[in-house]
Structure 1
Amino acid sequence: MKQKILNHLKNLRGWKTNRKIVVIAVDDYGNVRLDSKAAFERMSAAGLKAQSRFDIFDSLETKEDLEMLYEALSSVKDKNGNYAVFTPFALSCNINFEKMAGENYEVFSNEILPVTFEKLSQQQPKAYEGTWQLWKEGIAKGLMKPQFHGREHLNLKVFNDKISKRDSDILTALKNRSFSCISAADYPTINYTAAFDFWDPTENEKLFDIVKDGVSLFEEVYGYKAVHFMPPTSKISDAILDKIGELNLRFVDRGLIHKQHEGFGQYKTTFNYTGKKGNKNLTFLVRNVVFEPTENRNATEQALQSIEAAFRLNKPAIISSHRVNFSGNIDPFNRKKGIEGLRLLLKKIVEKWPEVEFMSSAELCNEIAKR
């Protein structure tokens, strides 16, 4: 009963439509977290401790990951004859592990995503040969329509601080071509994977430069300009958001109840809804359906209940998920469970709502912008 009440509360305000629109927003694509199962085992043997399922199963998407995902997405069609579509909130860059190794891990260095795939095609050809080409085919076929998640999925302040201190956790991870299982206990307002977390508000000027660079590189990598931004872990200063309009970013994801860091450990809480206007002609979107099939055995049924609540209150269903659910490079069973859950969810959606329309987040943003 509590969940049913929450499902309806999150849909009371905001942009309305009589259409049955489903958007599937999936974070973390393009990000190297774990290099391989062997790397994870070496890191564990060295004493690094997994803090979440992301530290255990999350790896850059492989060719088989994408093949199985595309099969699931194309297993259904909506009222217009369109397949289901993922909106991967994707990264532009990753750590350049080879260059950093050559410089004794003293200076941060990055590389654009196609270069990462090119290297992995040589290092792990069975998993990665042809993956970037398949990525581009998914975009061309309309199965994948990525939007901006950041330049890298790491906090550069924590990263630089730890390598300057020769922190054993980060050095062990980097030597295994990974960025995982790292503690950020010394940084009370910063998560080590949250690119735009900060302590002092003056840090936001440099953080905006990272956003600006990442947006430019997104266009280079994916072939078009992003309009929708989901910051890693959903955290970013309003001071940065006030400036992103100049980068063509006009839509930002934010939680229904969002705890916003103001600086020096001080926070404010805001209530948000899809269609809410921010400063500088910015519009917020709130994901109102959660789908994490490798974490929750009832994920499909709970997602269907949330979709039903959204449709009942004339809201689009914006499904929130993460790549880790569909990642099999570390453990193929993890991917099998996630893909089976996705396939079942899509099947039940089209059966229950034959008038459903699958959209990318950019397409939904365009509909919202019309009003």
Structure 2
Amino acid sequence: MSVVSNIKKFLSNLPGWKTRRRLVVIESDDWGSVRMPSHEAYLSLKSRGVDLDSGDSFRYNNNDTLANAADLTALFETLQNHKDKNGRAAAFTAVSMVANPDFEKIRKSDFQQYHYEPFTETLRRYPGREGVFTLWQQGIKGKLFVPQFHGREHLNVAAWMKALRENDKPTRLAFDEQMWGFNNLHPYGVSYQAAFDLTDASEVAEQKLIITDGLQLFEKLFGYKATFFVPPNGPFNNTLEAAAAAGGVKYMSCSKIQQEALGEGKTRRVLHYLGQKNKHGQRYITRNCFFEPGQAGKDWVSSCMRDIEQAFQWNKPAVISSHRVNYIGAIHVKNRENGLRMLDELLGKILKTWPDAEFITSDQLGDLMNQSK
């Protein structure tokens, strides 16, 4: 790591809540969302010229899909194999979507009305996903896999529906394969994956309703209220925090330097730090460690260990950012095997290097910050 990178890491870990406990949080995004339905869908769209591979999207579109039973079972076994000084196994804060588009109903409306289905219904329709929600529930009960809120869908409903009504060719082709996560071209650069980005400020009103509805569905599915919210892909207008707070969200995830979405391609830079409170009394949880073993070209175990070391050096919890794609083998088994092998190595090294490390979830970290005032 360069001197400049070290200085940036040092400065980013300075402000905010501190603790001498060696707390380790693993936040894993995207659970519950469709992304790529199958390898056959991927090949079909590629053959028709839909851009699936630009930038970092290749590993998502090539590997990321709804977890099957083998994915979850292998993940839970890996986490269970690593217990901290308190006897607690490593845990994922499973940052989850609770719904996906209902493609058939949207088509029947001639693309005039948006409809969604709970992700549990999506699981029932997908081959090999029968009974998978039972595994989710087992992971929750065992405190290995604790869902929190990522949004209702991993989808910018306004931008996507507008493109469908206008008969945008790649959007319609992807729709026919029941997916939307390609590299779409859209005014103001709004990605379909960025659920709370804005083409126009007027869209905020509908996004508030989506958050309210999504949080209600979360509680219905899981039997408890979500208290932690990670807006997908980053773009987010901060007036939406009020709707999240009203729905029970006490902790917000945000970049340390947030580019707040304002619409029409405009953003506003907002600075955040760990434990900072907004006007609704919500605390921000910022990530300071990164682990993406499915992304080529980097020794992710060593890199994440350096991130953790620097966090602990400045009396900060290690809040690790990861994504579901790293642990999914439903499309390519080797992707899951590679991701879990490196996760196993990382967890082992954490406990060997810091025997007093403690595994907790994001909501527990938020509760600790609230308790310490």
Please indicate the TM-score interval, normalised by the length of the shorter structure: over 0.9
**Structure 1 unmatched runs, 5+:** none
Post-superposition CA distance 1:150-192 (Å, at most 9, x none): 0000001111101101122122212212222241x23215221
Partner of 2:279: 279
1:204-243 mapped onto 2 (5 Å cutoff): 204-243=204-243
1:1-371 superposed matches below 5 A: 1=2, 2-50=4-52, 51=54, 52=57, 53-120=59-126, 124=127, 127-183=128-184, 185-296=185-296, 297-370=298-371, 371=373
Does structure 2 retain, via aligned residues, the 8 Å contact 1:326–1:339? yes
Taking the aligned partners of 2:139 and 2:334, their CA distance within structure 1 comes to 23
For residues 132 and 332 of structure 2, the distance between their equivalents in structure 1, rounded to whole angstroms, comes to: 18
Q: For structure 2, which runs of at least 5 residues remain unmatched after alignment?
A: none
Per-residue CA deviations over 1:88-113 (Å, capped at 9, x if unaligned) read 11011011133334445553221001
Q: 1:49 to 1:262 in 2, by over 3 A?
A: closer
How many angstroms apart in 2 are the aligned matches of 1:269 and 1:244? Answer: 21
Identity of aligned residues (%): 34
> 1:264: how far off?
3.1
Describe the SS at the equivalent of 1:145. strand
After TM superposition, give the deviation of residue 197 of structure 1 in Å: 0.8
Structure 1 counterpart of 2:345, one-letter code? L
**Do 2:204 and 2:240's aligned partners in 1 also have CA atoms closer than 8 Å?**
yes
Q: What's the secondary structure of 1:232's corresponding residue?
A: coil
**TM-score under structure 2 normalisation?**
0.94
The answer to whether the Cα contact below 8 Å between 1:169 and 1:182 also exists between their aligned partners in 2 is no
The residue type equivalent to 1:74 in the other structure is Q
The structural deviation recorded for 1:268 is 1.9
Q: 1:99 to 1:267 in 2, by over 3 A?
A: closer
Distance 1:106 1:64 in 2: 38
CA distance in 1, matches of 2:88, 2:156: 38
- Contact 2:212 2:243 (C-alpha < 8 Å) held by counterparts: no
Q: Distance in 1 between matches of 2:235 and 2:289?
A: 19
- Could you report, residue by residue, the CA deviation over 1:263-310 in whole angstroms, capped at 9, with x for unpaired residues? 333322122211111122121111000101111431110100010111
Residues 297-355 of structure 1, C-alpha deviation per residue, up to 9 Å, x if partnerless?
31110100010111111100000011111111222111111111111100000111111
Shift of residue 243, structure 1, vs aligned partner: 3.7
Match of 1:192, SS state, is: coil
Quote the Cα distance in structure 1 between the aligned partners of 2:343 and 2:101.
30
Q: Any idea what SS the aligned residue of 1:41 has? A: helix
Counterparts of 2:202 and 2:142, CA distance in 1: 43
Question: CA offsets, 1:43-88, max 9 Å, x none?
Answer: 1112212131222221111111111111110111001000000001
RMSD: 1.5
**CA distance, structure 2, for counterparts of residue 176 and residue 104 of structure 1:** 17
Task: State the alpha-carbon separation in 1 of the partners of residues 200 and 177 from structure 2.
Answer: 32
SS at match of 2:146: coil
SS of 2:268's partner is strand
Is the Cα contact below 8 Å between 1:105 and 1:171 reproduced in 2?
no
Distance 2:281 2:131 in 1: 40
Q: Which piece of structure 1 moves more, 148-157 or 94-103?
A: 94-103
Which stretches of structure 1, 4 residues or more, deviate above 4 A after TM superposition? 101-106
1:205, CA displacement in angstroms? 1.1
